[in-house]
Chain A
């Protein structure tokens, strides 16, 4: 909010359009099952994500976090008995792609033959629309890359590339953002900076963040879900009070961090036991 003060002209407009979309942009999963090589990754899973909040999804590797995210994105077919409800769509068909979702992955997925600006406007060109270069430039400025619009991805650092990816995600202007470990490949300081930037720029949207970093979850999310076992179940962890992004040095946050780590270790043992069976 404070950071948007210097551009009052376009701020209310973008806020309104966001609010309209958010009024019906939660995510709801009912009895969703997914099998991988005959075994259930998760069975009749239930999950409700309120609109306008950031929810983090933690859990051991291979438990099915990314699969769940891809399933919500419509990239992963699931068993027809389940239902995924996204925003106003009553029931989404398995493998159907929603127009309300933007997807941000662990790799920046920048196209190496396009410069930063063209990467940000990729979505429009894929839909054969005229790219809005003015908005793309503005977004590149907001992620601090105003001088790099002509740069090819190979010439940018990992953090810069992920910021271009963030601008590309924002360019899509979708009410729901699905993020699959978006900052995990970055060094610690770059990661903290990008978490703050993302929390600021994505505020008000419905976010599901898959992460293996409990600190990241504690810093930028309003709810934390832990996925464990096979078939996987979801449990919810408690969060400290206060606005996101939370200060990583805050004692309350650190206490929650310790608690969350204990929880995750239990979940990991649980999953290891499940995998052995």
Chain B
């Protein structure tokens, strides 16, 4: 009961603080609109907002799918093939020195104003946390398990598939959680640079026409869906890894 109530209370408090700031500072509505005004804008434009949200959600979902797949495959290749480790790992690490956001204009130039450039952007952002955390997990297999498997006559391949991969799944899961949290950023940044649809596009457009209430409505919609996606992924991962203790001892006391 409290677990449902608590987020609602937190949201109510934040909205209250927002309203108090409006009352106290008396800022004009084109700088910071009041919560009621944003709600009204959302209601008036909800068809438009949800239509654009659908595009952004599709970009996030596809980005997550491709980024997670590519990241997991890279981690497996790095863990299994020594040459891959020697040649690809430095490239992978060095590639992170390039800010992915700086690539957004190039991606739009190459892949166009449609959904492809945003999916590519989200994929790039998601790829790295997934690849590094899964690879880290694969590298840190409990040495005792490796020893035991070797005395049992395991091949390198069965050691990977039967022991190292399942053992690294919790690490992959935390990578996926980070990826899910940053995925909306990738999609929205892509939309800011150049797009014809999506919540990022809508926000930029509304900003340009000083429809700040609409911009806030779009922003809050994006935040809402980001939280929902994170919640779905997190719950799914917990269900998939039931042996993984996912609570800290202090949390269990409650």
Contacts and interface: CB of A to CB of B under 8 A. Distances in A.
A36 interface: no
Nearest to B158: A126
Contacts of B163: 111, 126
Nearest to A104: B148
Interface in A85-117: 97, 99, 101-103, 105, 107, 109, 111-113
A207 to B, nearest CB: 15
Contacts of A153: 243
Nearest to B241: A113
Given A109-B144, A111-B145, A152 B243 contact: yes
Contacts of B167: 111
Contact of A105 (B144, B169, B245): B144
A102 B153 contact: no
Nearest to A128: B158
Main secondary structure of the interface of B (DSSP, over half): helix
Given A109-B142, A113-B166, A126 B154 contact: yes
A99 B153 contact: yes
A111 B166 contact: yes
A104 to B, nearest CB: 9
Contacts of A102: 151-152
B209 to A, nearest CB: 54
A264 interface: no
B151 A97 contact: yes
A125 B162 CA distance: 8
A70 interface: yes
A109 B148 contact: yes
B39 to A, nearest CB: 47
Interface in A149-174: 152-154, 172
B243 A126 contact: no
Nearest to A106: B144
Interface in A116-160: 122-123, 125-128, 152-154
Interface residues of A, number: 25
A57 interface: no
A112 B158 contact: no
B153 A126 contact: yes
A71 B145 CA distance: 17
A256 B158 CA distance: 46
A150 to B, nearest CB: 13
Contact of A125 (B145, B148, B158, B245): B158
Contacts of A123: 152-153
B151 A112 contact: no
B153 A127 contact: yes
Contacts of A113: 166, 169, 241, 243
A113 B153 CA distance: 20
Nearest to A112: B243
B164 to A, nearest CB: 11
A148 to B, nearest CB: 15
A74 B154 CA distance: 13
A11 B253 CA distance: 50
A154 B166 contact: no
A215 interface: no
A3 to B, nearest CB: 27
Nearest to B145: A109
A199 interface: no
Nearest to A105: B144
Contact of A70 (B145, B147, B149, B158): B147
Contacts of A112: 243-244
Contacts of A101: 151
Contacts of A127: 152-154, 158
Closest 5 interchain pairs by CB? Answer: A126-B154, A123-B152, A103-B151, A112-B243, A109-B144
15 contacts: A74-B151, A97-B153, A105-B144, A109-B148, A113-B169, A113-B241, A123-B152, A126-B149, A126-B152, A126-B153, A126-B163, A152-B243, A153-B243, A154-B243, A154-B245
